[in-house]
Amino acid sequence: MPGADILRMHAREAGWAGGPSRLIILSLLLLASLAVIPVAAVPGPQETVVGYYFTGDGCPHCARVNPVLFGEWLTRYPGLVVVEYEVYSHQENAVVMADMDRRYGIGLYIPVLFFGSNATFTGDEPILSGVPGFLNQTLGGPGSREGFTPLESLDIAQLTGYPRVWQGERVLIREGPGGDTSTLRDLLRGVDHGTVLAGKTYELLGPLTVSHTGIEIRFERSLRVDGWVFGWNGGPLANVTPGSTVTPAPTTTAGECPPSLELTAGKIIALAAVNAINPCALAVLVVILLAIITANPGKREKILLAGLAFSLSVFVFYLAYGIILVSLLSAVREAASFQAILTRGLGLVSIVIGIMHVREYLSPGGAPVGTGIPTGWRPRLGEALNRITSPWGAFIVGGLVTLFLLPCNIGPYIIGCGILSVYGPLVALPYLLLYNLIFILPMLAITLVVYLGVARISDVKGWREENIGRFHLASGLIILAFGIFLLSGLI
């Protein structure tokens, strides 16, 4: 054999010829030397672990997690696969979360990142502090992966709801039913796209931006295939297969949330305008100005200062009420199971308030139900108003009077704060300022009209009483429309 001849030749050169034991020793040394020669490793399947992330756009705690999870960890841990469910805007995703809670007890508060029954992280602090250690042990260490789901076992096409599935610099976004798990999985793993999509019909798109609270993730390229949008960073497809269609490039994904701030501003302006023409606040201001005129005849500057002080007091106190309302409703929204209940509840409240205002227009003169100051409160309110003799008194009583005004003014404000609660108190603050500025505009206008002598206080009072029915009708129809739109999901 050639190998044996080579061994004999080396043995003769080394002076070992003639001894079979020496030949055996030489063979063993040769085998040992071959064992240390580097051999090209054949890459095996990448170790992966799937985590289910439940979040809500506008959730302030999620805003802390999102930049780290999507902006850092997906790159740092190539084996991390995230199945994301946004529960605020997709009721189907809230159902998925409720089902996961029934099966695994993950809870109904967000954010939550679930890897398995023994690895559930709820809240921003536990996620940020606990997940890196878990991933280091599971993906890079000797830790057991028993009980955790690898990508190879994830049936992507059969996922319920509307998930977004992430790995590295790639994302799959469900738009509708359908999909082939093998194809979707290969796309997510980074297998050559041209090979994966050969013979399939798909739609080439352009750059893609996926928005979260706290971060936007941009992808250079995207395509649509079988009810899914796939976004990635990297080279274009090697081959465009027959049957594909090139379309104009989108800049964002469909169904981004929360709603655009421009649209929200329009809703807030409309609700504030309805609240501003509420007869209650105007009636109280008229009484205050009349009391100031009576106590300070001929002193117009007192009228101006009293009207401005009362308006400022209403603005400050209602702003405080709004911040409290938005904070409370934001906390309710973080419990995903209450998301649908809150939206429907706001819709029902709007409809009831709208009907009450229309009733006031159709049956004037009766005792107001939910649209005016309760009858039992009026004597105390009258006593408070009669004590006003100065602008400083107008400011103090204005703050107290806001409590009396709540039953007849709070309806539109609750609806507005409910709409703003999806953003949280910090983002909602400028819109609350805008709302309350619009709310006090009629008060400022009446103050200036009386101060400048354009009209007497009796004229203002008569104008209010003459148009009170129209105020109720306009308010009722607008709030009623809001309620119908909220229940139908149009806003």
- Contacting residues for 183 by C-beta, under 8 A, at least 6 apart: 196, 197, 200, 225, 226
Provide φ and ψ at 77, rounded to 5°: -120, 90
Among candidate residues 246, 272, 289, the one where a domain is terminated: 246
The answer to whether residue 334 is domain-embedded is yes
pLDDT of 68 higher than 90: yes
- Mean pLDDT of the region 326-345: 67
Residue 362: which domain range? Answer: 261-488
pLDDT of 209 higher than 80: yes
Residues 133 and 217 in one domain: yes
Between residues 372 and 42, which one has the greater pLDDT?
Answer: 372
Structural contact between residues 475 and 358, judged by C-beta atoms closer than 8 angstroms: no
pLDDT tens for each residue of 97-136: 888 988 999 988 889 999 988 899 999 999 999 999 999 9
pLDDT of 222 higher than 70: yes
Residues 328 and 427 in one domain: yes
The answer to whether residue 155 is domain-embedded is yes
Between residues 271 and 172, which one has the greater pLDDT?
Answer: 172
Residues 152 and 59 in one domain: yes
Nearest to 221, CA basis, from 193, 243, 257: 193
For the chain, what is the domain count? 2
Residues 203 and 296 in one domain: no
How high is the pLDDT of residue 250? Answer: 43
Q: What is the mean pLDDT of the chain?
A: 75
- Mean pLDDT of the region 348-373: 67
How far is Cα 130 from Cα 403, in angstroms, rounded to an integer?
A: 46
- Mean pLDDT of the region 332-358: 69
How high is the pLDDT of residue 240? Answer: 53
How high is the pLDDT of residue 113? Answer: 96
The answer to whether residue 159 is domain-embedded is yes
How high is the pLDDT of residue 49? Answer: 93
Residues 339 and 479 in one domain: yes
How high is the pLDDT of residue 133? Answer: 92
How far is Cα 118 from Cα 124, in angstroms, rounded to an integer?
A: 18
% residues pLDDT > 70 (the chain): 64
Alpha helices in 254-390 (DSSP H): 261-276, 279-295, 300-333, 339-362, 378-386
- Mean pLDDT of the region 58-75: 90
How high is the pLDDT of residue 36? Answer: 41
